Chains A and B, each alone.
Chain A
Amino acid sequence: MKGLPPVLITAIVLVAGFALCAVQFPNIASTRVVGNLLTDNAFLGIVATGMTFVIISGGIDLSVGSVIGFTTVFVALAIERWGMPPLVAFVAILALSAAFGAAMGAVIHVFDLPPFIVTLAGMFLARGASFLLSTESVPITAPVYATVSDFALRMPGGGRLTAIAIIMLVIVIGGALLLQLTRFGANVYALGGSRAAASLMGVAVGKMTIKIYMLSSLLAGIAGIVFSFYTSAGYSLSAVGVELDSIAAVVIGGTLLTGGQGSVIGTFLGVLIQGLIQTYINFDGTLSSWWTKIATGILLFAFIALQQGLVALARRPVTKSLGAAT
């Protein structure tokens, strides 16, 4: 039942928003638009899934956007310049990004530093490293890329469920199962609830911290590969600011930024809401794209205020009963 009410509210906002859009532009309610929505936000959905774990555990990961940028450049150079087979390049970059996340987790735990500033350093490091590799956009011409880009399942109504959308859906479902059904997931909630209590209960806090940041960076690496499929290029400036979009998606999805509560499904709905705003603005044509940012800001405020209210409500009966007892 963890975090169900906020998720429900997110779902209602998404459905109501979609219905409003559909009333104004009937064409939005088609599988084509929905298919595009999933494809365009595939990398964001993957990254936000990892971010959900980090935030539920009471941390934050600012480095994910830079890891995506680094991944696209690395993959592009590995395939085009260094002559690696694409699969080998993918395995190499995933190992590299997982190691990067593990290192950040280790620094956070061993030196007892705030995740905010450690992952900020990680953000500089990864972005700087991608600049060092290449400052120009490197097109990827490997045949795998054409095959993957062309692959799509036909949905009724002419929509296309692309390969990268399928990857995203698989990861979201996998992430949700991992969080809700496994010991690992339970430990993530425990860490976010109270680090000290979790440690006393026998959770290996250090190992968990390392694993959580490893997972987040690994998913950022996968998102980077997906991003390179999406743009067929590697560019060191790609995915700047994605960490903010994914944090926003996590918050809109009903996850408490203080940790301990939240869900992957909520995050997925949060990603879809952001995508829906973008789609609406595209359909409208007269609104400028910066309205996306303002609308996202307003939604963020609404959801945080709502959480604040829920938390206050949850605390009130406790203090009342305590007052009655004394």
Chain B
Amino acid sequence: MTALLPRRGLAQILALIVILAVDRVVSPQFFDLRLQDGRLFGSVIDVLNRGTPVALLSLGMVLVIATRGIDLSVGAVMAIAGAIAASLADSHGLPVVLAAALGAGLVCGLWNGFLVAVLGMQPIVATLILMVAGRGIAQLITEGRIVTFSSPDLVWLGNGAVLGLPVPVAIALCMLILTGVVVRGSALGLLIEATGGNARASELAGVGTRAMILAVYVWCGVCAALAGVIAAADIMGADANNAGLWLELDAILAVVIGGTSLFGGRFSLVLAVLGALIIQTMNTGILLSGYPPEFNLLVKAVVVLAVLLLQSPKLTGFAGIVARLRRTKA
């Protein structure tokens, strides 16, 4: 557990607790839970459920950012996967639908990874291509319409329950554990961090940096596709125009809040997911407090700035002084 949750997670956990406390003040029923038809209901469950797409995206994004990259195309990949899932849902079984949608995410990830790792393009530029074109491709698949479906299997994926938890939350949890075991249970995580820390030095030290970079973009694509399928299953339809719109920014924000530097290197999966939950808790809090949802963007902007300033290299000197003062006092 210590490997998954380093000491630096304290700030994020405190932030989440503070925001939860504010939510509790705003809405006294915030922590109420009730069991109905084998599924838990309540604001907290709602936060988890609504936060799932961004949490899934941030799982892939954090690995990409750890290699000093960025993936702007995840929102567009969500739209593509959602479009594929929705158009196949009523004519094929769930395994085929999932395989097709996740396969599309895999191909998108391969494309991004190929551009970055093999052609050596800047990640922002390379993934910008799919960000622009991807939504167009999704609209080609849905032929510009909003495709709805009624396949009970796929709907279950968005609205069902497992052991009381909504299925999306259960899926996100499984993905977090799976990614954690694969990345931290082996040397992979270390190699990814090495690639982000200094790609050239790692290459010389024998790390297959190209393979690492390719792998993280593929994983990011698959996570995005899964998020897209869940988002489509949730509303029982695919809207190529709006599915996953601007979620790439939320995912990057979640990773940054989770303390992973945009300059690559050390990363934490758990904290990235925690970042996604912090964002969603804020959103839900603003909704519950009765303020118009337009406040979301302003609050988000302030949070980004605060987190950035805390991480700024210029300010760490200041933080060091504060820490030293404290130590002398104690």
Contact = CB atoms under 8 A, between A and B. Distances in A.
A255 to B, nearest CB: 11
Interface residues of A, number: 42
Q: Is the interface on chain B under 10, 10 to 19, 20 to 34, or 35 or more residues? A: 35 or more
A127 interface: yes
Contacts of A125: 297-298, 301
Contacts of A208: none
Contact of A111 (B124, B126, B139, B314): B314
Contacts of A129: 298
B136 A247 contact: no
A111 B312 contact: yes
Interface stretch (B1-9, B52-60, B127-135, B165-173): B127-135
Interface stretch (B13-21, B148-156, B302-310, B320-328): B302-310
Contacts of B121: 304, 308
Nearest to A293: B136
A290 B135 CA distance: 8
10 contacts: A112-B314, A118-B308, A124-B301, A128-B296, A135-B292, A288-B140, A288-B143, A290-B144, A297-B136, A308-B121
Given A124-B298, A128-B299, A244-B131, 20 more contacts: A112-B312, A116-B262, A117-B256, A120-B249, A120-B252, A121-B301, A122-B301, A124-B249, A128-B297, A128-B301, A129-B298, A131-B292, A135-B292, A135-B294, A244-B128, A288-B139, A290-B240, A297-B130, A305-B119, A308-B120
Contact of B298 (A128, A301, A305): A128
Contacts of A116: 70, 124, 262
Interface string B176-191: 0000000000000000
Given A135-B294, A244-B128, A294 B133 contact: yes
Interface of A: 60, 107, 110-114, 116-118, 120-125, 127-129, 131-132, 135, 244, 247-248, 251, 257-258, 288, 290-294, 296-298, 300-301, 304-305, 308
B40 interface: no
B300 interface: yes
Contacts of A296: 132-133
Contacts of B299: 128
A292 B125 CA distance: 19
Contacts of A305: 119
Nearest to B309: A111
B123 to A, nearest CB: 10
B315 interface: yes
A281 to B, nearest CB: 11
Nearest to B72: A244
Contacts of B31: none
Contact of B262 (A117, A124, A247, A298): A117
Nearest to B256: A117
Nearest to B300: A124
A13 B325 CA distance: 63
A304 B300 contact: no
Contacts of A122: 301
Interface in B102-130: 119-122, 124-126, 128-130
Contact of A117 (B140, B296, B308, B313): B308
B137 interface: yes
Contacts of B313: 112
A247 B308 contact: no
B278 to A, nearest CB: 15
Contacts of B144: 288, 290
Contacts of B305: 107, 121
B294 A121 contact: no
B124 A290 contact: no
Contacts of A110: 314
A111 B121 CA distance: 27
Contacts of A297: 129-130, 132-134, 136
Nearest to A245: B132
A108 B255 CA distance: 19
B137 A294 contact: yes
Nearest to A121: B304
Nearest to A309: B119
B294 A131 contact: yes
Nearest to A127: B297
Contacts of A123: 249
Contacts of A121: 301, 304-305, 308
B309 A293 contact: no
A301 B301 contact: no
Contact of B129 (A132, A258, A290, A300): A300
Interface string B138-164: 011001100000000000000000000
A260 to B, nearest CB: 13
